[in-house]
């Protein structure tokens, strides 16, 4: 078994290599000016390859095209490059390539389990990874020179996600989502406290929300305290691996809802679900290409009202005394403009109409604006 000290040394080599890339290229100097792409892993060609696709499902490309396995892609250099792991040389090693798959170069060999691969912080100053300490997988952070153990023993630490300010980590432990700050001011706090199995946290670009998987559905909750959990997918099939778009308006994910693992995307309120891939192989682990701050300013999507009944009447004003002007079907998504003064009705935008709907027939996703 690989010793802990050897794993730590490997992580520091990987970190230094990644830091050198950032220094040479700049965090966003080579980032793509076009709409951000989604990378993912696919087995459609008989082995695991890294693919890229647009957010509308167009321009699908195999970036690796190698008979070996290529896995665990991570965007680097502000979206200009991709770090990935491959056994193409006969042993597992990390590689770096341009965003279009060109200019592949070897970084470092490793026999460290791939579940321990490091993930850099958004500011590029440190990386987090999992390593076995005794009988448990524990969460560590390294800056290339020093390494700190972030969690206490007692259970395995699972998938994790950096906060956008690089000051905190959300992670899974024993089927719950925890958050901890790197400066020690916030010991691990359980945000979910649910009977369901919760995992795969993904921090929103604005830092206000965390998407996560709960009993094979994708949920959204407030990052500060875990409040307002909402099921975004509401589908009987498996939905996993949420990944935010850089503007915080969309979430990519993998789903088995069509009888095969495919990549999907939806609005961050769970509306407008669309399928991006369509093949017989396994597709998973989507990641949205980061963009320069000048290209996207992440903001919360306006609050949404999702119809919970078979249909719902839309009225010209707030109250049963106003005439019905249209109806909305179950699971229809309406953008909330404002609640009524008594809070019983919502002014909403729906299919180019400004109408009112009763709060009794909808579920609200997000935070309400002030009354009008």
pLDDT in tens, the chain (372 residues): 334 344 445 445 544 444 444 434 443 444 445 688 999 999 998 999 999 999 999 999 999 999 999 999 999 989 999 999 999 999 999 999 999 999 999 998 876 666 678 899 999 899 999 988 888 899 999 988 888 888 888 888 999 999 999 999 999 999 999 999 998 788 899 999 999 999 999 999 999 999 999 999 999 999 999 998 999 999 999 999 999 999 999 999 999 999 999 999 999 999 989 999 999 999 999 999 998 765 666 767 788 999 999 999 999 999 999 999 999 998 899 999 999 999 999 999 998 999 999 999 999 988 888 887
CA-closest candidate to residue 97, choices 124, 76, 78: 76
Closest-CA residue to 77 (of 121, 25, 144, 36): 25
Which of the following CATH numbers is that of domain 4-288: 3.20.20.150, 2.130.10.30, 3.30.360.10, 2.120.10.30?
2.120.10.30
> CATH 2.30.30.40 spans which residues of the chain?
304-365
- 25, 19 Cβ separation under 8 angstroms: no
Residues of the chain within CATH 2.120.10.30 domain(s) are: 4-288
A 10 A CB-CB count for 329 gives 10
pLDDT at 114: 64
Whole-number Å distance between alpha carbons of 32 and 27: 12
Report the top-level CATH class of 304-365.
mainly beta
Spatial contact of 14 and 2, defined as CB atoms under 8 Å apart: no
Beta carbons of 265 and 250 less than 8 angstroms apart: yes
Rounded Cα–Cα distance for residues 237 and 242 (Å)? 15
Task: Give the pLDDT of residue 20.
Answer: 42
Predicted pLDDT of residue 109: 86
């Amino acid at each position: 078994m690989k010793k802990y000290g050897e794993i730590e040394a490997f992580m520091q080599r990987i970190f230094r290599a990644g830091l050198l890339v950032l220094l040479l290229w700049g965090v966003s100097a080579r980032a793509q000016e076009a709409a951000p792409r989604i990378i993912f892993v696919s087995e459609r060609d008989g082995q695991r390859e890294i693919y890229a696709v647009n957010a509308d499902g167009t321009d699908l490309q195999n970036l690796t095209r190698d008979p070996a396995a290529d896995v665990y892609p991570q965007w680097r250099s502000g979206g200009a490059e991709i770090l990935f792991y491959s056994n193409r040389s006969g042993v597992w090693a990390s590689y770096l390539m341009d965003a279009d798959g060109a200019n592949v170069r070897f970084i470092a060999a490793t026999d460290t389990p791939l579940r321990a691969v490091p993930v850099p912080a958004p500011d590029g100053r440190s990386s987090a990874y999992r390593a076995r300490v005794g009988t448990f997988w524990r969460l560590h952070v390294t800056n290339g020179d020093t390494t700190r153990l972030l969690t206490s023993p007692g259970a395995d630490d699972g998938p994790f996600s950096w906060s956008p300010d690089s000051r905190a980590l959300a992670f899974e432990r024993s089927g719950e989502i925890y958050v901890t700050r790197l400066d020690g001011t916030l010991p691990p706090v359980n945000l979910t406290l649910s009977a369901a199995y919760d995992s795969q946290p993904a921090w929103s670009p604005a830092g206000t929300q965390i998407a996560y998987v709960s009993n094979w559905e994708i949920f959204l909750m407030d990052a500060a305290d875990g409040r307002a959990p909402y099921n975004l997918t509401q589908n009987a099939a498996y939905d996993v691996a949420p990944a935010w778009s850089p503007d915080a308006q969309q979430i990519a994910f993998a789903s088995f809802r069509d009888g095969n693992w495919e990549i999907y995307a939806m609005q961050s309120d769970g509306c407008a679900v669309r399928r991006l891939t369509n093949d017989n192989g396994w597709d998973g682990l989507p990641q949205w290409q980061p963009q320069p701050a000048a290209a996207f300013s992440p903001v919360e999507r306006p609050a949404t009202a999702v119809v919970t009944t078979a249909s719902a009447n839309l009225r010209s004003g707030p109250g049963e005394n106003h005439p019905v002007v249209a109806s909305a079907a179950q699971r229809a998504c309406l953008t909330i403009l404002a609640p009524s003064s008594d809070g019983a009705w919502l002014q909403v935008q729906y299919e180019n109409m400004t109408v009112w709907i009763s709060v009794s027939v909808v579920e609200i996703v997000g935070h309400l604006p002030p009354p009008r």
